[in-house]
Structure 1
Amino acid sequence: MKEVVTLFKEQFKNMGIIFRISRYEDMANYQSHYLGLVWEYLYPLIQIGIYWIVFGVGLKHGQSNGVDYLPWMVIGITPWFYMNRATLDASKSIYQRVGMVSKMKFPVSALPSIKLVSNLSSFWTMMVFSIIVGLLYGVRPNIHWFEWLYYFFAMLMLLLALGIFNSAVSVLIRDFHMLLQSAMRMLFYISGVLFNFETSSFPPLFARILQLNPFFYVVSGFREALFGTGWFWQRPTLTIEFWLIVLFFLLVGSHLHYKFRARFVDLI
């Protein structure tokens, strides 16, 4: 637990550096493109359109739990796109920045956090788009929208825990990032992003196993907040399971990070 406390202290201490570098990376990634940073916002919107055409129109998913499929899908895919990109980017954040780590005194634990911040711009764009789509389909503001603050915090804590863990393991085992990419592709289909497996058509045991996925907790939570279907404390078992998973990755990831941090450059 001492290592987890140290980790959070380093994040808060270097918050300014994290935001400055994340802004620089956003500009550097798109400086050679004609549309520049517009792609940061345009790409996820194109993906939403593709999934809606395929699953909402082509496969005739008209509604899900009485909610039109488009707003249901959009609000679920919004946190997923962010979590997917942030997880994969954070996992390779240390070995991609080996030059920075070796040439200057830099808080290595801040590298995954930089990836979390740099991907937030597209997330906010998609959130605004999700709300607009919801309003067009008859969803009205309600008190449950404040629940987004909790799920946004929960999402960041999950991504920080996974970022610290994955970035350390990716240095120790270089094949790990490739395995993680495959795992995230599979998780896309079993995290409730496109299909609602909490319906009666799914076997209860199968649905219960899928609910253990922490990504599902965040995705379903964002939907719960938009449509005003409940509060997070009304499903205490899932909430406890989610935070236990986050704590597990924080403890193990922090331990690996501080145990091998002095050897990262040599291992890379």
Structure 2
Amino acid sequence: MNDAKTVLLEQFNNFGIIRRISKYEEKATYQSHYLGLVWQFLNPAIQIGIYYLVFGIGLYQGKEVRGVPYIVWMLIGIITWFFLNSSILGGSNSIYKQIGMVSKMKFPVSILPSVNMASNFVSYRAMMLLLLVTMFGFRVSPTIYWLQYFYYFFCMIAFLFAFGILNSTITILVRDYHIMLQSILRLLFYLSGAIMDFSRLAVFQGKHGWFIHLLELNPLYYIINGFRDSFLSDAWFWEKGTQTIFFWLITGILLIVGSHIHMKFRARFVDFI
């Protein structure tokens, strides 16, 4: 617990550094491109168009999902997924990628996963604006359920930070871990409900219903479906007691274990590389 407290305090005490480094990384990533930061919006927008053609028109044939057009339902999930995926993969490689800077400058390396998350927030913010425009265009009106967005956003940040501390440390110790994580996330893309409402597929009904309940314990599914519950006014988070308790249990374990391993090995990160 002391290690987790130390790591959390380092984030609050170095919030200004996190913002400055993240802004520098944003500019450095796209400085040689003609469109610059526009690619942070354009790249996911192109992917969304492809997924909509394949799943929205091909699989769902333009049908509504949960009472709204598929494009609205999909956007809520896939925008969240883009942020989760880029933050998990970027966070896991954040310390290894910046080890040269870490060895020369004096600041806690535990902030590097947070720096990556902050860098991704620019693209996320732009895509959320697209989502709002799309929802208003299809006459999805705001309700009191929308206030839950802030709760699920906090859940997303808490999970990404806890998972990022663990992943970034393991990646230093075992380089193959980052590649394995990429493969796992490709599978979770379909099992987290980002583009498919698998809970309503016929194959998972009846005697296979237990499999749906198992998938619902996935923290990524909890976050994605939580945003949908908020924007589509389906349910309050306290109505999903088992999933909520399990989510925070997993997040707490990841934070405690990740912080402990991080503090134990971070003095020797350069030696491992």
TM bucket by the smaller chain? over 0.9
SS at match of 2:198: coil
Query: In structure 2, which of residues 253, 261, 267 is the aligned counterpart of residue 262 of structure 1?
Result: 267
1:15 is matched with which residue?
15
Distance in 2 of aligned mates of 1:231 and 1:261: 40
1:130 to 2:131 alignment: yes
Residue 46 of structure 2: aligned partner: 46
- Say yes or no: does 1:233 pair with 2:238: yes
Separation in 2, partners of 1:215, 1:25:
26
Q: Is the 8 A contact 1:100 1:106 kept in 2?
A: no
1:106 counterpart SS class: coil
Task: Write the deviation string for residues 13-59 of structure 1: whole angstroms up to 9, x where unpaired.
Answer: 00000000000000000000000000011111111111111100122
Give runs of aligned pairs for residues 192-203 of structure 1, distance below 5 A: 192-199=193-200, 201=202, 202=204, 203=208
1:28-177 matched pairs, under 5 angstroms? 28-59=28-59, 60=61, 62-177=63-178
Residue deviations 1:53-102 (CA, integer Å, cap 9, x gap): 11001222512223221100001111110000010000011111111111
In the TM superposition, residue 200 of structure 1 has moved relative to its aligned partner by 6.5
- Partner in structure 2 of residue 210 of structure 1: 215
User: Going by fraction, where is helix more abundant, 1 or 2?
Assistant: 2
SS of alignment partner, residue 192 of structure 1: coil
Q: Distance in 1 between matches of 2:198 and 2:96?
A: 37
CA–CA distance in structure 2, aligned partners of residues 209 and 237 of structure 1: 12
Aligned partner of residue 167 in structure 1, secondary structure:
helix
Q: Distance in 2 between matches of 1:104 and 1:187?
A: 36
1: CA distance, partners of 2:53 / 2:14: 43
Distance in 2 (alpha carbons) for counterparts of 1:29 and 1:174: 23
Amino acid aligned to 2:256: L
Matches of 1:225 and 1:63, distance apart in 2 = 18
Letter of the aligned partner of 2:84 in structure 1?
M
* Per-residue CA distance 1:186-224 (angstroms, 9 max, x = gap): 100000111112226223111011111100000001111
Q: Structure 2-normalised TM-score?
A: 0.96
Q: What aligned pairs does 1:218-229 form with structure 2 within 5 A after superposition?
A: 218-229=223-234
The alignment yields a C-alpha RMSD, in angstroms, of: 1.0
Q: Distance in 2 between matches of 1:101 and 1:136?
A: 47
Is the contact between residue 22 and residue 118 of structure 1 (CA under 8 Å) also seen in structure 2?
Answer: yes
How many residue pairs match? The answer is 268
Question: Identity over aligned residues, as a percent?
Answer: 51
What secondary structure, in the 3-state scheme, does the structure 2 residue paired with 1:141 have?
A: coil
Q: Where do 5+ consecutive residues of structure 2 fail to align?
A: none
What SS is found at the alignment partner of 1:198? helix
Runs of 4+ in 1 over 4 A off after TM superposition: none
- Asked if 2 retains the 8 angstrom alpha-carbon contact of 1:90 and 1:163, the reply is yes
What are structure 1's unaligned runs of at least 5 residues? none
